[in-house]
Amino acid sequence: MTTMTAKMPTTTDEFVKGLWRENPVFVQVLGMCPVLAVSNTARNALAMGLATLFVLVMSNIVISLLRHFIPKQVRIATYILVIASFVTVVDYLIQAISLDLYKALGAFISLIVVNCLILGRAEAFASKNTVGRSILDGLGMGIGFTFALLCLGAVREIFGSGKLFGFQLFHDGFQDWVVMILPSGGFFTLAGWLLLFNYLKQRKERLERERRLAT
């Protein structure tokens, strides 16, 4: 990695930007549907994140390879078909690995097709950049997405059932906040995280302004 970054200073940037500065969920607010729907436990959230990561990287590779051959008029339809093929692969993979997980995620695995994040990266990045950079972009965005899903899933599982990845965290006296497992809990948790990020961003801006004024 170090040799690569020495040659191309922007390459790591493609990877890192998805993790934090342009985090797909917290900053760009993309791909909300799976984020809210399957984040009721940390395990589901992790599985969904990894599935999306796989589809994102694979479709980025294929679209980047084909970028000179796809006519401009039908590009969106082509992207969707490429993405749909990989989602079908993931759908059967998860079914083969764990039937429990498959049942828990349900139709939301198929719905990765319509995750705006994947189509967005195909259109905004993979169709204009080389394969290597597209892979890094896909990895960064995918890991950022998984991280965000885990943030939500962990909070909802801890408060909603007093567990994390199925392990009991509190003793028996803990009263579950049932609302966190229910759909409305997803909205509240995400709102909470966004609030936190907004607050941090504003604080950083204020501090910078004050520093500029001081000098």
Partner 1 sequence: MTGDPLWAIFINACLINNFVLAYFLGICPFLGVSAKLATASRMGGAVTFVMLVSSICAFGIQELLVAIDAPYLKLISFIAVIASTVQLVEMFIKKVSPALFRALGIFLPLITTNCAILGLALFQTNKGYNFLQCIVYALGAGIGFTLALILMAGLREKLELAAVPDVVRGTALALVLAGLLSVSFMGFAGLGG
Binding partner 1 (rule: CB under 8 A), the pick from 12, 110, 174, 181 is: 110
Q: What's the token pair of residue 112?
A: 């990765």
Residues in the chain: 215
Q: Please report whether residue 88 would count as binding partner 1 according to CB under 8 A.
A: yes
Per CB under 8 A, the list member of 5, 170, 199, 209 interacting with partner 1 is 199
115 counts as binding partner 1 under rule CB under 8 A: yes
Q: Is the separation of the CB atoms in 109 and 101 below 8 Å?
A: no
Nearer to partner 1, 27 or 158 (CB): 27
List binders of partner 1 among 21-60 (CB under 8 A).
Answer: 29-30, 32-34, 36-37
- Residue 51 CB, shortest distance to partner 1, in Å, is 14
For 34, how many CA atoms within 13 A lie in the half-sphere containing its CB?
34
- Chain residues binding partner 1 by CB under 8 A are 29-30, 32-34, 36-37, 76-77, 80-81, 84-85, 87-88, 91-92, 107, 110-111, 113-116, 119, 179, 182-188, 190-191, 194-195, 198-199, 202
